[in-house]
Chain A
């Protein structure tokens, strides 16, 4: 620098003051600082990527999780996941799949050919003797398929293979092995995705908010107010309280098993939580008849389990898979153990004709617009400092702390990936064409047309 040049301060963002009267005062906020930094999600975790039926033999799909572009391929019965960003010029290979055999995929632009198992660059279509061959490659991601869902371990490029945990570490606690620890006298043992005969039916769709806002909605006990008018509640005559207040210090139990999932269990419908059925000043009273005794828990990397919901023997799982810092893929999955084909057909029928229209749509649609209503407050980062939390927010605050402690890494902002730049002209053009920013890569269908 020239000695004569003036010394200037960098442009910085002002720090916002935090009132000590809030539940989330400055000290509490610092305890979950890592969570506040996780705008792009937690990395080095297992996430659902696709339903089995979305990836038939020979199919290729491109998706994005926590800012990482991922290509999935099923070939000769085997599943593969590699980074969907060619090392050469960054092209998404999944946009126009080009596969010369069952063990590799080529980039359709300049022919860089990658081994699906190792990610290594093993050929270049028009330059087979290149010195670069065998010297570089793309990251690979461990995959696992259970109960009709494909899971991917989304990791940083240098996360070691030997540190990849089992999928069960990123799924809710299982029953009956946890029935004594988390007793539930009001309903039968909750099924797990990993149980034999488990069938998962559901959908996934893209929500336009930060994944944390979506995730916290799922187990936020004060939010049941938004569901008071939902069709399923009235069709079933359910008692859905106006609110549920923590009544004891042990309203929430942390799940921090050495060799298992990390998160929290809420002891709902026990004396540790008090349902609020009436608000006299406002003239409100819940008049319905039938109790719907459910329980919510959440584990890293943001997996909700609603037990005994919407009916006995059924459990709802939800994931809020970060795509970017302002989009997430919302997974709603109902699981039931189906021992016979008849069981399976009955579950499918019930799912198609009751759960899908009234729960996954009706009831949970309401959650989607509620989350998006919060997005702008949080989008520039100031909402995390300015929100004024209250007693019922013990649930999100506890979750933020446990997530800060047990996450396996904070995803860095996506590099060279779709929607990382919010105002690029290509994003604007797609929007003008009526295409919302999406989870899956759009395929180039007609090679002779633009």
Chain B
């Protein structure tokens, strides 16, 4: 009986990598051994970076493993390669091109430029790469930040673009008892040095897409959207129509509205809608959830692309809603965040 199988990875640009997967090995382990340009980060089934879609053959998540994938996503063939074993020859497609994985993560040190509370439960942390360090990234990707004085890392998406480097801006939700929250609220100050690594993640802006862009952000899920909007603004050629729906739980939780206003002023093709779940918001802000703020009247075409970032429940609802509005499932990209204490 054969102890290995063959797995083929098909990148968006058509490049294929054939891997030999030994029995007991995950597809990600095999891909890394073969130096395939695959994106990954946590290797434990939680971050979602190594997402792939099973096109043919049999491959499932390792028995007893846990993953952040939604069951609906599993049913559609999505797999996290770090916990996936191949049961016979199989074929996976990846939603990024073979050049994406060449931007390998690096470790770097940063100075704190600013730390400020921008909403009831959101802090803005501005970092600046120290002399001698650099880190390129794509709009939408995230970095890991080591909580100073601990060995604990937390993941945050950049709200800025590579063009803003060495400056990096993060929007961080304050959680009661959270280690990063504790540092931010009680100890962080300008000129502190923090360790970071990255970039990570395959939730990033697909280039040269002319179809309308829909972005749905819950809370600090706005960060990667700001990065993508800034990248779209300076990309050559006609800027596509962008519809951003941003939601927070309460009016006190809202932030970055000035930044959104500025971008709407700079970009005639950008429309922003801001919602709160409850409370009495100021004029111009809706009550409701950010998913429902997008409707059939928005003229979305089947080739429209969607970017979703927020808690798992919002992403699940948004995916379902957008598919009902006619978007193709493969054009919906999502990054969900999971709170850690």
Residues of A bordering B, CB below 8 Å:
1, 5, 7-10, 12, 30-31, 33-34, 44, 155-156, 158-160, 163, 256, 401, 404-406, 409-410
B131 contacts A10, CB within 8 Å?
yes
Q: A405-B266, A405-B267, A405-B268 are in contact. Are A10 and B109 (CB under 8 A)?
A: no
Nearest-Cβ distance from residue A341 to partner chain B, whole angstroms: 43
Question: Known pairs A10-B130, A401-B265, A405-B267. 10 more at Cβ < 8 A?
Answer: A7-B193, A8-B132, A12-B128, A33-B262, A33-B266, A155-B236, A158-B237, A159-B237, A404-B266, A409-B234
Chain B positions within 8 Å of A163 at CB level: 237-238
Nearest-Cβ distance from residue B122 to partner chain A, whole angstroms: 20
6 closest residue pairs by CB, A with B: A8-B131, A156-B236, A159-B236, A163-B237, A163-B238, A7-B130
A9 in complex: contacting residue of B128, B265, B266, CB < 8 Å = B128
Residues of B bordering A, CB below 8 Å:
109, 111, 128-133, 166, 193, 234, 236-238, 262, 265-268
B266 contacts A8, CB within 8 Å?
no
In the bound complex, how far is the Cα of B129 from the Cα of A264, in angstroms? 41
In the bound complex, how far is the Cα of B268 from the Cα of A430, in angstroms? 45
In the bound complex, how far is the Cα of B268 from the Cα of A10, in angstroms? 36
Q: A7-B109, A9-B111, A405-B268 are in contact. Are A1 and B238 (CB under 8 A)?
A: no
In the bound complex, how far is the Cα of B129 from the Cα of A12, in angstroms? 12
B237 contacts A10, CB within 8 Å?
no
A10 contacts B166, CB within 8 Å?
yes
- Report how many A-B pairs have Cβ atoms within 8 Å: 51
Nearest-Cβ distance from residue B171 to partner chain A, whole angstroms: 18
In the bound complex, how far is the Cα of B238 from the Cα of A373, in angstroms? 37
Nearest CB to that of B267 among chain A residues?
A405
Nearest-Cβ distance from residue B154 to partner chain A, whole angstroms: 21
Chain B positions within 8 Å of A10 at CB level: 128-131, 166
Q: A9-B111, A34-B266, A405-B266 are in contact. Are A410 and B234 (CB under 8 A)?
A: yes
Chain A positions within 8 Å of B133 at CB level: 1
Q: A405-B265, A405-B266, A405-B267 are in contact. Are A8 and B236 (CB under 8 A)?
A: no
Nearest-Cβ distance from residue B168 to partner chain A, whole angstroms: 13
In the bound complex, how far is the Cα of B235 from the Cα of A159, in angstroms? 9
Q: List 16 A-B contacts (CB under 8 A).
A: A1-B132, A1-B133, A5-B132, A7-B111, A8-B130, A9-B130, A10-B128, A10-B131, A12-B128, A31-B262, A33-B262, A44-B236, A44-B237, A405-B267, A406-B268, A409-B234
In the bound complex, how far is the Cα of B267 from the Cα of A256, in angstroms? 12
In the bound complex, how far is the Cα of B181 from the Cα of A32, in angstroms? 35
Nearest CB to that of B109 among chain A residues?
A7
In the bound complex, how far is the Cα of B239 from the Cα of A406, in angstroms? 11
In the bound complex, how far is the Cα of B130 from the Cα of A326, in angstroms? 31
Nearest-Cβ distance from residue A377 to partner chain B, whole angstroms: 26
Chain B positions within 8 Å of A409 at CB level: 234, 236
In the bound complex, how far is the Cα of B237 from the Cα of A322, in angstroms? 20
Nearest-Cβ distance from residue A118 to partner chain B, whole angstroms: 19
Chain B positions within 8 Å of A155 at CB level: 236
Chain A positions within 8 Å of B109 at CB level: 7
Chain A positions within 8 Å of B128 at CB level: 9-10, 12
A160 contacts B237, CB within 8 Å?
yes
Nearest CB to that of B262 among chain A residues?
A30
Chain B positions within 8 Å of A9 at CB level: 111, 128, 130-131
Nearest-Cβ distance from residue A61 to partner chain B, whole angstroms: 26
Which one of A10, A155, A406 has the highest number of Cβ atoms from chain B below 10 Å of its Cβ? A10
